[in-house]
Structure 1
Amino acid sequence: MSYAIDLYSGIGGWTLGMKLSGITNLASFEWWNEANQTHNLNFGTNHREINIREINIEKDLTFDHKIDFVVGSPPCTQFSFANKGGNGDIQDGLVDIYKFLEIVEALKPKYWAMENVPRVAGILEKEINEGSLQRFKPLVKTIMTVDAADYGVPQNRKRMIAGDFPIELFVAYKTRAKRTTLGDVLHALSQDVVIDPNYGYQVPKAEVTELENEVNLTEEETRINRDSKTYHPVYNKMSFPDKLDRPSRTVTATCTRVSRESIVVESESGFRRLNVRERGVLQGFPITYQFYGRTLNAKFKMIGNAVPPILTYYIFQSMLEVQPQDLKLPSASSYYHEKPPFKSFKSNLGLPAKKYPASRKFQFSVPNLRYGSGVRFELSNNPKSKKQDWSFKFYHGNSKNIKEIPLNAEVKNALAPIVNTSRNTVFNDHIDQLSERYKDYHSSKLQELWISTYSDNEVFNFLDHIGNCVRDILNQAELSDIESSVVEAIVNEKNRKLEENKDSLLVGFYFLSSLNNKIFDQ
């Protein structure tokens, strides 16, 4: 018999991996009440919430058996690029890692493993070589980044694994794992008898909890999601809706109905986010597992913060020194997770926003003037200013070095003799028509429409109208004899992207600077 403990145990991803592997869990340590209660109610334990930073190793870590394995997932928030603009609070996060390693050092297990976000790999390596963790350098035998999808988790989820365990065995298991897709999960959960795509459990659909879907995304929410994924001003393109023939994107702890990080799928009548059960299965929890968060967002958070139990199962198999030829898939484990005899809290499902703050931000690329890699024309506001200051802008560069070119009267006047010749009256035709139609669309009017829940997408309709005019101008204007050096002079840069898109860039600079002048008085 092998014995283990898990630190920062969350809702039980490590513990479930132990159960699947036939390992006895002697103790779990977690601070967040709802996650700890989810763990307790699923496994019939009575672990109290505890701040691991305050553990007294001599008093709080005494057991009747020698600990073979120490595992856990220190909080990743302080290391995440999503926290504090990508900076997080690394020094505070290192406090938890220091405590984790201090416990490993004291208990002297046969093997140990720690899971965290990929960014921690570089931080940990630096700190054990020349920083605050040098004391523990002899303990850390491996630091690697893995994708949970390679081990059969139906989700692309890259994670750092550090520790001392048979890494060669763990890596070898990838060839045995069964690849599961987002489509496999959605299909399985839609059947009258649900067959768990990860474990093979067969349960009548009526007995599977947390399958309730939110209402579909509104037309505006759909547009925001689509644009933020497929035409984000800076970041790489994502698919919309999410593709079903591959593991899902990473299930995150926090997301909104209009988040770039949200996984969005088609429903029978539109688009929707994933429900609680779908997220749980993508994270590798059985369809019988229950999530005891008091709110929908609490359940999303606990699932998104969890370590996939399928991944921990393979880590434990390596700790048990199971040879690849003897390896069983998690679905062949003798452990069956019984649905606990407790009723989960019923969550109020997410609904579209009923009102928006007066400072609501708008920042979307202009259709037909989107180039990717941080190069774009966009319509945006400045909600921190008194008048909100809506205008068209041009940006180029990347997320670390974004440069703005003002689309003002100076740009308009400089290009007018070159672009708006007698052959290209289409420019003024559209400018005059738009100026008349949207003569009331000053900054405060647009902001009023943007914060209203009854505006019927008027701001996006305005943006799309601009994009349609751009398309018409590109189809009708004669710009081929204009040298690309004109664009290069405005941007003060020369590259292939500018040269390849010279015509549309010229249209964007002249047309949008003219509209800024006519509509926004710039």
Structure 2
Amino acid sequence: MARRSNSAKRASKSDKISKKPPNFEIRAVDLFCGAGGLTLGLENAGINVAMGIDIDPACEYPFEANNKAKFLKKSVEDVSESELADAYGDAKITLLAGCAPCQPFSTYSKGKSDESDERWNLLLQFGRMVNESRPHLVTMENVPMLAHQKVFEKFVQSLEGIGYHVSHQVVNCADYGVPQQRNRLVLLASRLGPIDLIAPTSPSGKHKTVRKAIEKLPKLSAGECDEKDPLHQASELSALNLKRIRVSKPGGTWRDWPEELVAECHKKASGKTYPSVYGRMGWDEPAPTMTTQFFGFGNGRFGHPEQDRAISLREGAIIQSFPKSYKFAPKGVPIRRKTIGRLIGNAVPVKLGEAIGKSFISHLNNLDEAQAIPA
């Protein structure tokens, strides 16, 4: 939930004017930038992203090949205040954005991660950088479970303690044009006044479906690759899994299969609680949440609704609302499926990034023209 009342009223008002250009240029730095989903979304909204920072070298090509921003391969723990200042230059409005790695807070960790995990410290490093550089605007996106952790409470308190107005809420990305059921925690903060996320752009009943997103892509068989798009490739299937997917129903589970096809682990009492694997997506609803292993049939409900295969890398990227033309590897370089799958699955959906960007622009446009912009 958002931290303040009347947020829906303000969000609705701001959404009506979100298409206006910003009163001032917003220049941003994207921490933990990954392949560039958040950066592209912010750019699409009209925000100038100057630099993306990530420690993963695999991010550099897709980030720079598809965005105007420069990529800096560096741990956020080593990023200095002067490096941020150089990136911001003489911009009148500055934004620090980021999505710290979510694995420690994800439901997939099943309680195995605690504050001894060094990745928990990355959010505090984000807070350090905010405290040192004092950008006018801040945003963070992460998994919903983070909202229940003390490290997040400390982060919010640190922002409020240095004068930021903070709001945060859990949203379904499908409400913002992403063809995927993906719940995420979104935080917005501003030194200029109260701020909230814009109202849903495609609320329930208007969600973009799997059919709308990927139906027109060329058909593939398991193990096949499209000649014109190397990213549109499908993983191989064993003979057993080919039999399984052929009897799988869109939106169904392995419980629909004949007994002889059910895996031994699922016949046990402990395995019966995991129905959301080895399933097909439904055509006329949003996809399930993309993970870093969405290209494998057995890793979730990632079977194509109609074709006997798991979805391709390109289809996963489109479901994350990347444009069909987004480049993840240089031309002629072999596709490393696990690497690109990780980049796609970990990305901030582009359309969610765009909604965040429009929220900041509406926030600025709602300020009184005479209101001073703090240095």
| TM-score, structure 2 normalization | 0.71
Post-superposition Cα deviations, 1:474-495, rounded to whole Å, max 9, x if no partner, equal: xxxxxxxxxxxxxxxxxxxxxx
Provide the residue aligned with 2:373 in structure 1.
none
Q: Counterparts in 2 of 1:125-136, with a 5 A limit? A: 126-127=150-151, 129=153, 134-136=157-159
Name the CA shift for 1:243/1:277 in 2 (closer, same or farther; >3 Å): same
Q: 1:30 aligns with which of 42, 45, 54?
A: 54
Post-superposition Cα deviations, 1:104-125, rounded to whole Å, max 9, x if no partner, equal: 22222232110111111111xx
Provide the residue aligned with 1:298 in structure 2.
339
More relative contact order, 1 or 2 (CA 8 Å, 6+ apart): 2
Provide the residue aligned with 2:273 in structure 1.
235
Counterparts of 2:358 and 2:299 in 1: how far apart (Å)?
Answer: 36
Name the CA shift for 1:262/1:103 in 2 (closer, same or farther; >3 Å): same
Counterparts of 1:86 and 1:259 in 2: how far apart (Å)?
Answer: 23
| Amino acid aligned to 1:247 | P
Q: 1:252 aligns with which of 261, 266, 291?
A: 291
Structure 2 residue 90 is the aligned partner of structure 1 residue 52: no
Name the CA shift for 1:128/1:76 in 2 (closer, same or farther; >3 Å): closer
Name the CA shift for 1:258/1:276 in 2 (closer, same or farther; >3 Å): closer
Provide the residue aligned with 1:261 in structure 2.
300
Give 1:94 deviation, angstroms: 2.6
Provide the residue aligned with 2:176 in structure 1.
151
> Identity rate of aligned residues, in percent?
23
Counterparts of 1:210 and 1:46 in 2: how far apart (Å)?
Answer: 24
Q: Counterparts in 2 of 1:36-435, with a 5 A limit? A: 36-43=60-67, 46-59=70-83, 61-62=85-86, 63-66=88-91, 67-83=93-109, 85-91=110-116, 92-123=118-149, 126-127=150-151, 129=153, 134-138=157-161, 139=164, 141-164=166-189, 167-171=195-199, 173-175=201-203, 179-190=207-218, 207-216=228-237, 218-220=239-241, 223=244, 229-231=253-255, 233-235=271-273, 237-238=275-276, 240-254=279-293, 257=296, 259-268=298-307, 271-292=308-329, 294-321=335-362
Post-superposition Cα deviations, 1:143-173, rounded to whole Å, max 9, x if no partner, equal: 2111100111001111111231565451354
Name the CA shift for 1:12/1:132 in 2 (closer, same or farther; >3 Å): closer
Give 1:26 deviation, angstroms: 1.4
| Amino acid aligned to 1:219 | L
5+ residue gaps, structure 1, are: 192-204, 325-522
Counterparts of 2:281 and 2:83 in 1: how far apart (Å)?
Answer: 50
Give 1:305 deviation, angstroms: 0.3
Provide the residue aligned with 1:20 in structure 2.
44
Counterparts of 1:90 and 1:222 in 2: how far apart (Å)?
Answer: 44
Counterparts of 1:282 and 1:73 in 2: how far apart (Å)?
Answer: 19
Post-superposition Cα deviations, 1:30-69, rounded to whole Å, max 9, x if no partner, equal: 1100112210122365423101112222455433123522
Counterparts of 2:297 and 2:143 in 1: how far apart (Å)?
Answer: 24
5+ residue gaps, structure 2, are: 1-24, 220-225, 256-265, 366-375
SS in 2 for 1:252: coil
Taking only aligned residues, the RMSD between alpha carbons, in angstroms, comes to 3.3
Paired residue total: 305
| TM-score, structure 1 normalization | 0.52
| Amino acid aligned to 1:64 | G
